[in-house]
Structure 1
Amino acid sequence: DPRFNNETLALLQFFAQNPLPQDIEVETLRLYAEDIHQKINKKLHETFKGTIEEKTVKTNSTEIPITIYTPLNVNKDKLVIYFHGGGWVVCSPKTTQTIVNYTADVTKTIWISVEYRLGPEYKYPIWLDDALDVTQHIIQNRTAYGVNETAKIGVAGDSAGGMISASLSHLLKGIDFQILIYAALDILGETPSYKEFANPMYFLTPELMKWYSTHAFHNLDDVKDPRASVLLNRTF
């Protein structure tokens, strides 16, 4: 397919030839994801020269861990809150630490990575509520996180984290911008492009998407909620 870079195509073909079992256990996939990302992240993670601080944000129901990346010569006029991908079931801030600390470094901006709770232990809307509570807290207490009172606050995320970011942009006031990285904006999978690339759909197959949604959501009504399938909102 000429739309693919050759290196990208080789990687996608590797995943297609080595598919994950459809009945894979949650914990097995979590360990696999953490292991593969650790190998990818290790080299670049060690090049970050700013400060990395672990904190928790207390909500009505729990305490949510966050990781704050503050680069050298930081710009105090912006702050980005990041939500990792992983189908709302796997991965963590550790799996995306390379992209977060690298982007914080090159933009000279504080990035905060959020460890929201995951399904199937905590199904929708719990993980979205975690993200909402943390984001609202940071917006209201931005100076405590190293930026100015008038600093712009943005949300960002990849895949499932992109969906969370897009949803928060609809739900919360005070978000100034969003950065969506291949965001999952239609969990129903009924768009023309979804059907066009269903066969072959490299790596993230319809079967794997169903596995994720089964573990992350209670039922089809959850998936039809515009807070989850954000493209169902009348305005975007």
Structure 2
Amino acid sequence: MGVFGMSIETPCCWNPLHSTYEYDKKEKDYIIRGVHSYIQQFFGPSIMYQVNSKNVLPISLENVESSSIKCPENTKPEELEACFQNSPNQKTTIHLEGPLAGNICSDSVIYKADFLDVDCLRNRKESEILRHFKGKRLRCMNTSFSNSQVIEFLNAWKSGQMLKKSKLLGIHTNFDLNEDEIMGKVDHIKFNKRHGNKENTVATTTGQYLIRESDGQKGYLTISQMSVHLAVFGQTGGHVNFDI
């Protein structure tokens, strides 16, 4: 599958020395829609269409499967939501950066992305993202999650109240986390696994996992000083990779 990416930055007229085209800023949206429509007609559905936008919200385009948006200062959630009007269910990734002037609504299409990567939505209720996300993979960067918030989330996951469909979660916080304090208030199971044969033991891996009460799903958990990773691999376990 090919990939067509459209970057939306400062508009620029035709310059033969640099092969660029400068245009009236008022015509930007019209030109972008025209170029996108032409590319779709030429290549058809075999192309994965991506939108990359920095410090300006992109217009809503059809058949976009992946978006990376660095929001301008004080972007309103409804303005961000409008960017996905013509491609509401993006199949791959939505990456968001920058502060919002409000909270994303609970039924936002943003929460339905396969992979949601949120970086630095300052002063927002970050727990709302965990509560409403409906996709498979979630990463929250530069958050202000505390020990008590992590404890609350993990217990909510165990009881089936949050992230029922998610397979991978990564939380990176700007505050120090205390693994002993967190695990002391979350019911979990520790495991040890030795690698090697009977004669030679290469290494021993230790870890812990949670069991979701409603369906017995296992959530393999790793906590460091500034991050929490949870990987759900069903009742029988399997290979765990936290690199998301």
| TM-score category (smaller protein) | under 0.3
**Higher percent of residues as helix:** 1
Q: Which has the higher contact order (CA 8 A, sep 6+)?
A: 1
Q: TM-score, normalised to structure 2's length?
A: 0.26
